[in-house]
Amino acid sequence: MAARNKDDGSRTIRRIASGFINPQCELPKKIHDSLNNIFIKGKTPYAEKVLSERVSDSGKKSLYEVKRGSENAIYNALCLLCISETRKVKSVFTENYTRQIEKTWSYSVNASDLSSSYDLHLAATSFFGVTQANISVIIDTLQKPEFDLFKEKLPSPFAEYGDRHAHLERIQLLFDVDIDWREVIDIISKVEELESEKQFEKGLDKLFELRHQSCKKLKPIKQLETRIKSQLNENKEALNYLKKILV
């Protein structure tokens, strides 16, 4: 990740989001574009709860800054982007906003409202510790009549060991544009298939086809590699033992 530009004191979506992920690194473009879509594109009715608008010094364009006290709306959008797609996240914000304005306390969001078949989100659940239990906790929180999506924090999709607001730094790799998650998922599926067939050497060779080094550091992939290497070592030890007793 590239280093961040020098902070000019602004409260842009980019800077607030970076603060939740990694203040020392530039916000991935894919995340920035999604957040702009959620809060700016299409003049969403809830934008005024989160953003203030001012004219740039040149007077040629509008600049949007996050209002003080509304930072958690950006955090919540990041959480939801880990488990869903942009258009569905916008729908969740719209429904929460409408519920507050109309004071209708029923809320119908469920798993199907957030579910996504995108490779990005398959990767999130496969490699980044986003479990169905975590998603269920987020949905339960959204369904609470008193929950304010613009002021309060959702539980992190990466929550572990009782930490409801686990750091979102893992989202950087998840949204890395250089990673073809479909390719990663296909490779891992093939490796697991070879492992089940006890073709451990072929499985290890297949695992080496992962091109992005950061992927190899992900816990499930490291565990898979360790497991296969352990099986290979056991097989070699068994073969050496047989050779000794047959001599």
> For residues 125 and 158, is the Cβ–Cβ distance under 8 A?
no
Predicted pLDDT at 226: 94
**Domain-embedded: residue 187:** yes
Predicted pLDDT at 161: 47
Domains held by the chain: number: 2
User: pLDDT tens digits for 39-49?
Assistant: 998 778 899 99
**186 & 160 share domain:** no
| Domain coverage including residue 191 | 181-246
Rounded to whole angstroms, how far apart are CA atoms 170 and 22?
A: 9
Cβ-based neighbours of 168, under 8 Å, separated by 6 or more: 20, 21, 75, 78, 79, 82, 156, 158
User: pLDDT tens digits for 156-170?
Assistant: 888 664 555 567 888
pLDDT < 70 regions, the chain: 1-9, 55-62, 104-113, 115-118, 159-166, 241, 247
Cβ-based neighbours of 246, under 8 Å, separated by 6 or more: none
**86 & 36 share domain:** yes
**137 & 189 share domain:** no
**23 & 52 share domain:** yes
**107 & 189 share domain:** no
Predicted pLDDT at 108: 60
Rounded to whole angstroms, how far apart are CA atoms 155 and 164?
A: 5
**197 & 165 share domain:** no
> For residues 36 and 13, is the Cβ–Cβ distance under 8 A?
yes
Q: Is the pTM of this model over 0.75?
A: yes
Cβ-based neighbours of 37, under 8 Å, separated by 6 or more: 86, 90
